[in-house]
Amino acid sequence: MATVACIKWGTLFGPEYVNRLYSGVRRNLSGGLRFFCMTEQAQGLHPGIEILPLPQEPFQAPMNAALAVANRQGAMRKVSLFRQGVIPVDGPVLGFDLDVVITGPLDDLLNFAPGKVAMRHDWVEKRKGRPTGHGSVFRFDPGAHGYLYDDLAAQPHAEVEKARGSEQRYTSHKAMDRGDFAYLPEPWVASFKHDCLPVWPFNHWAEPRLPKAARVVCFHGRPKMPEAVAGHRHWLRGCRPCGWLHQHWADRARADLGPDWALN
C-alpha cells in the first residue's frame, strides 16, 4: 500500500489541482494507494482523497514573523506534514506540491534510498554549486524524520533565519546535517521551464518537449499548467500550447475521474 500526501491552503490552487494530482498518482503507482491532502478547504475534493485537517501550529506566530522579514509568507507551511502521527501510516510517504504533473511511473521514487529524505537537486542551487533539494517532490518516513517538524517547532525564528525562509532549504539541509538525505535521480523530476522549454527564442515557435525519463514535471514559478496548456505569452518563458501536458494533466484525469472531479 503506497502512501502519498500533499498540502493545500488558501485559494491559489483550486480542488481540481488536487484531484488531477490524485489521478496522476493512482494511474502511475502499482498496488493500493492512500492519498492524503492536508487542507482547511475540503470542498470539491474526490472522495478517494483522505483529508487531514490543516493545523494551527503553536509556533505559527514566531514562524510567520520570521518569514515576513524574509518576505516568504507561508513558505514553511508544508512542515506540518512532517509531525509524527499526523499521517496515520507506517513507512515511506511520497509528497508532492500541487504545481506538478505526473508523467511516468512512480514506484521507483517511493522506494528510492529507503530510510532517507529524498529530493531532487534544485536546478538553480546546483548551478550555483550549492547543496539544496527541490521541494516539489519529496520522500520521507514520518516515523524516522519527525525532527523536521520538531526542530522548527522548538526554534521557529532561528530555523527560519538559518534557512533564509526556504522550506526546501530547511528540509534538505536539516536531513543532510544528520546524514539522512539522498538526491533523487535528476532525470526522474523535470522542470518545465528548465528542462522542457526550448531555449529563447526557439520557445516562441517550437512546442515544449517532455523528457523521456521524466516521471514528474514541476511548474515552479511561471508558467503554471493552465498557462502552458493554452500557450503562455512572455518574452523569456513564453511557450506554444503544450499538447502532451493537456493529455497528462487534463485528458487522462478526466477519463479517470470524470469531468465533475477533473475540471474547474
| CB-CB contact of 84 with 78 (8 Å) | no
pLDDT in tens, 171-213: 999 999 999 999 999 999 999 999 999 988 888 889 999 999 9
d(CA 177, CA 133): 13
Cα-based distances in Å from 13 to 70, 224, 232 = 23, 11, 18
**What's domain 2-186's architecture?**
Alpha-Beta Complex (3.90)
Which amino acid is residue 75, in one-letter code?
A
For the cut 80, the answer to whether the pLDDT of residue 144 exceeds it is yes
pLDDT in tens, 23-53: 999 999 999 999 999 999 999 999 999 999 9
- pTM for the whole structure: 0.95
Q: What is the pLDDT of residue 264?
A: 57
Local confidence band at 71 (pLDDT 50, 70, 90 cut-offs):
low
Domain ranges within the chain, ordered by starting residue? 2-186, 189-242
For the cut 80, the answer to whether the pLDDT of residue 167 exceeds it is yes
Q: What is the pLDDT of residue 74?
A: 59
For the cut 90, the answer to whether the pLDDT of residue 64 exceeds it is no
How many Å is the maximal CA-CA distance in the chain? 52
For the cut 80, the answer to whether the pLDDT of residue 154 exceeds it is yes
d(CA 224, CA 227): 5
> How does the average pLDDT of the chain come out, rounded?
94
For the cut 90, the answer to whether the pLDDT of residue 102 exceeds it is yes
Q: Of 25 and 165, which is predicted with more confidence?
A: 25
Q: Which of 96, 68, 90, 64 is nearest to 77 (CA)?
A: 64
